[in-house]
Structure 1
Amino acid sequence: MTKTSYVLCALIVAAGMLCCGCTTTTTPEDPAATRTITDMEGNRITLPAKGATFGVFGGPISQVPYLLGANASIVAVTKGPQMMEMMQEMDPGIIDKPAPRTTNGNVNIEELLVANPDCVIAFDVDGKIVESHTDIPVIYLSGTMGDGFDEMRREIAFMGEVFGKPDRAQAYIDYLDGTLAFLRERTGDIPDDERATVFLGEGVSHLQTLGGDTFFAEWTEAAGCRNAVAGIETTLGQQEGMHTGINEISMEQVLAVDPDIIIIDTGSPTELKDDSRWKELGAVKEGRVYREPTGVFLWSRPSAESAVLYPLWLAYNAYPDRFEDVPLTDRVKDFYAEIFEFPITDAQAQKVIDGTYGSVTFGQVKQS
């Protein structure tokens, strides 16, 4: 092959990878020495072509290297996912990794420098902190609490290119699409005015919620339900970053919508029956208050895990007669085995469903 042919081949390969967000560049000294990533904000970052190490800053995205089979390259993690009970079952070694990032905007620079990753994968707030205090390059992700299924597909595809695992990324996307198609098949014929309304009540007050401008609206719609507070925009006026979207509404607003289903992330559903305010709601009277599941991370965030399992879990609870032929435990077990290559038992699947795995709320470890 002529020298000109080699150059043309290299250009073709580079152009193909650029479409996916990554390009591979060469140097005269070592043709395989480096590659260049074009991140989701359009920045170009140069990394070792092989053996690059990463810090991953963010709760929901911390699971992505695992579903890609690339977690061995992670040398700095986020504290919240590190302390999740199920995450530690999947990867016992995560507890020994440095966790310089605790919550959004809180990064221990000294600990990060000791870990010394080749780059950090982060959203805007954490990424700017890393860039302003270190020389470690940052691969920026583009995401908010308003992101839905399309953004999830885009993020997973991009991360697949970053870690050199495009096939694993596509396998997840196919699994997500298959689950959504299954739910449409089972719930698509329910008239709009008969779809169950759902209220997510987080925190000790059960009044912190996700409105119609958040991912939760899409998750509930995929389950054949409706977000009871879809008319409320909770992303407005909140802090930057991935915690944007959580807002506290009044008890009067909850009473006004009188949801068919209530989901809580703290306390017990039975406690609402003894509360003079909550016991008047139809969902409480009918025993349709559920503890929010947790797995390798909180489901109240737009993660790869929650995008598949939250709509599935909600649909099973909202319309149990439509899913009698396939136990939910089987669906949950299949997801972790197929996507994370993490086989779990019936008992573990039930812990996920019941929300009894140890969870993290606002950076504090909380056991059920």
Structure 2
Amino acid sequence: MTFRNLALILVISFIIIFSAGCVSEDQSADGNESDVSDSGYRTVVDSRGVKVEIPEDIERVVTVSDGLVEGVMYSLGVEDTIVGLGSTCIAIEKTYSYPVDDGTCVNGSGGSSIQLVLDPDINEVPLVMEYGVAMNYETLSSLDPDVVIIRLGSCSIQEKDSETAQKTIETIESLGIPLVVLYSPNCYSDQSLSHISDEIEIIGDVFGKKEQAAEIAEYLESQVGLVEERTSDIAENEKPSVLMFGLSATHRAQGGAGVVQGLGTTESYMIEDVVNAKNAYRSEGTWQIVNTEQVLALDPDVIVLCTAWGYHPMDELYNATYYSALSELTAVKNERVMSLPFMPCNCDKRLEYPIEVMVIAKAAYPELFEDIELEEWLIEFYMNVYGVDQATAEELLYAQWMEWCIEE
């Protein structure tokens, strides 16, 4: 054998051996996708379907969310990695006040975000973005984040396909910062609450805590499933009409009685697809302004009060002087009004969404859910989701102004 032929054989052998031992960076040896691309990094697929390469050891995180991302991070035990926020509502504290017939005002205090109770130091974390204000990229860069997690549908970036969303995503990626984008239920046409489970599991992937995240999502779904199971056989003619009503002072100043949630919203999905009742407002749209005459014409069987530019207790609708014209509503006369927990920046649902479902269910079908003591159920919910003790769970109940459910 000549030297030239021997050299050719050696080259061919080397190529065969090298090819057999190599796989692409996105595949394992058996051809399946792997979540690890290089040593020290993992690959996460976000809501866009984009593969994002992030460090395995994450120490610095910036979030743009109204509480969902931060709540999941707390539940996963990684909340101390947050170095920047994209919402003023994470660390918010609130009061409420309304006038009554005797000339005095009823005042409430102590409302706050869930995150502020769980992590009081979070109010010292720098803001990189907030509602109505573009992201401060200089501040973002100075925080040197390992990853940025943005939830589209939150108040800071409400529209998935908006110019703000696209510009924010493009700019962060151009800075070379790993970016994980989440789609909230408002980003989908079906508004299904299962999309929140998808978000939770993506966050779990980011921090290498898939199983723990899946357990959180499964628990939340189980609480919704309890309601669905009990209401699945309700006949069409037995379904009460439920109005999701926000007693917004902002819109009262504009001549409205408040705002309502129409068809095609997550609230309507909760009412009709989960609780199996009827949304009293049959037009489409979120935060639709309605006047007194329109509310009287709707005359719902049940009214559920949501956070709308502030918290609104049941007694505000019953007793505030500016709602005297609504005293003849069927729901008011029959005392079929309930308030959802206080959720500042209520643009999309967070980990507490099963609480909303349960309140709507108890308001719509009190007999079916008579055995569920809301106070006890809430305490257990907070403890299971956030891993807190009973004392902290009680703090969360009061922070969300849910003390109205406490049995005397």
Identify the TM-score tier after normalising by the shorter chain: 0.7 to 0.9
State the one-letter code of the partner of 1:153: S
Helix, strand or coil for the counterpart of 1:280?
A: coil
Tell me how many residue pairs correspond in the alignment.
334
Q: Does 1:11 align with 2:33?
A: no
Measured after TM superposition, the shift of residue 260 of structure 1 is: 1.6
User: In the alignment, is the contact (CA less than 8 A) between 1:208 and 1:246 conserved in 2?
Assistant: yes
Give the SS at the match of 1:189: coil
**Residue 209 of structure 1: CA displacement?**
2.2
2: CA distance, partners of 1:293 / 1:36: 36
- Aligned with 1:51 (options 22, 40, 58): 58
- Counterpart for residue 317 of structure 2: 272
Is residue 339 of structure 2 the alignment partner of residue 291 of structure 1? yes
What secondary structure is seen at the aligned counterpart in 2 of 1:12?
A: coil
- Conserved 8 A contact 1:127-1:138: no
Once residues 94 and 170 of structure 1 are traced to their aligned partners in structure 2, the CA distance between those partners, rounded to angstroms, is 25
Change (3 A) 1:108 1:356: farther
Deviation at 1:353, TM superposition (A): 6.9
What SS class does the counterpart of residue 342 from structure 1 fall into?
A: coil
Provide the residue aligned with 2:384 in structure 1: 338
User: Is the deviation greater in 128-137 or in 57-66?
Assistant: 128-137
1:25 corresponds to 2:37: yes
Contact 1:100-1:111 at 8 Å conserved across structures: yes
Q: Which residue number corresponds to residue 364 of structure 1?
A: none
Aligned partners of 2:31, 2:379: CA distance in 1, in Å?
39
Tell me the amino acid that sits aligned with residue 294 of structure 2: Q
CA spacing shift, 1:350–1:66, aligned 2, 3 Å:
closer
The residue matched to 2:27 in structure 1 has which SS? Answer: helix
Structure number with larger C-alpha Rg? 2
C-alpha distance in 1 between matches for 2:192 and 2:26: 36
- Structure 1 length normalisation: TM-score? 0.78
Structure 1 residues 39 and 188, CA gap change in structure 2 (3 angstroms) = closer
Paired with 1:173 and 1:186, the residues of 2 have a C-alpha distance of 21
Question: Which residue is equivalent to 2:14?
Answer: none
Kindly state the Cα deviation for residue 130 of structure 1 after the two structures are TM-superposed: 5.9
**Structure-to-structure mapping, 1:99-114, within 5 angstroms:** 99-103=127-131, 105-114=133-142
SS in 1 for 2:295: helix
Between the aligned partners of 1:226 and 1:47, the Cα distance in structure 2 is: 44
Determine which of 93, 108, 125 is the counterpart of 1:97: 125
CA distance in 2, matches of 1:298, 1:334: 25
Instruction: Give the Cα–Cα distance (whole angstroms) in 2 for the partners of residues 15 and 210 of structure 1.
Output: 47
What SS does the aligned partner of 2:338 have? Answer: strand
User: Is the 8 Å Cα contact of residues 57 and 101 (structure 1) preserved in structure 2?
Assistant: yes
- How far apart are the structure 1 equivalents of 2:72 and 2:341? 19
SS at match of 2:217: helix
Instruction: Say whether 1:213 aligns with 2:264.
Output: yes
Residue pair 1:24, 1:35 contacting (<8 A) in 2 also: yes
Aligned 1:199-238 pairs, distance under 5 A: 199-202=243-246, 203-204=248-249, 205=252, 207-221=258-272, 222-229=274-281, 231-234=282-285
Deviates more, 1:59-68 or 1:265-274: 265-274
How far the C-alpha of 1:66 sits from its partner, in A, is 2.0
* Pick aligned residue for 1:64 from 61, 72, 77: 72
User: Which residue pairs with 2:288 in the alignment?
Assistant: 247
Q: Which position in structure 2 is the counterpart of 1:166?
A: 210
Query: Are positions 1:157 and 2:234 aligned together?
Result: no
Aligned residue for 2:5? Answer: none
Residues 107, 126 of structure 1: 8 Å contact kept: no
Q: How does 1:125-144 map to 2 (within 5 A)?
A: 125=164, 128-129=167-168, 131-132=170-171, 135=175, 136-144=177-185
Q: Tell me what 1:240 maps to.
A: none
Query: How is 1:283-322 mapped onto 2 (pairs within 5 angstroms)?
Result: 283-294=331-342, 301-306=348-353, 308-322=354-368
Residue aligning to 1:198: 242
Give structure 1 stretches of 5+ with no counterpart: 27-31, 235-244, 358-368
Aligned-pair distance for 1:159?
A: 1.9
- Tell me by how many angstroms 1:247 deviates: 2.9
Give 1:318 shift. 2.9
Structure 1 position 79 matched with structure 2 position 76: no
- Does residue 328 of structure 1 match 2:374? yes
Shift of 1:58: 1.7
2: CA distance between counterparts of 1:14 and 1:351? 53
Gaps of 5+ in 2: 1-16, 93-111, 153-159
Cα RMSD (Å): 3.2
Q: Are 1:179 and 2:223 an aligned pair?
A: yes
After superposition, the Cα gap between the structure-2 partners of 1:9 and 1:114, relative to the gap in structure 1 and judged at 3 Å, is closer
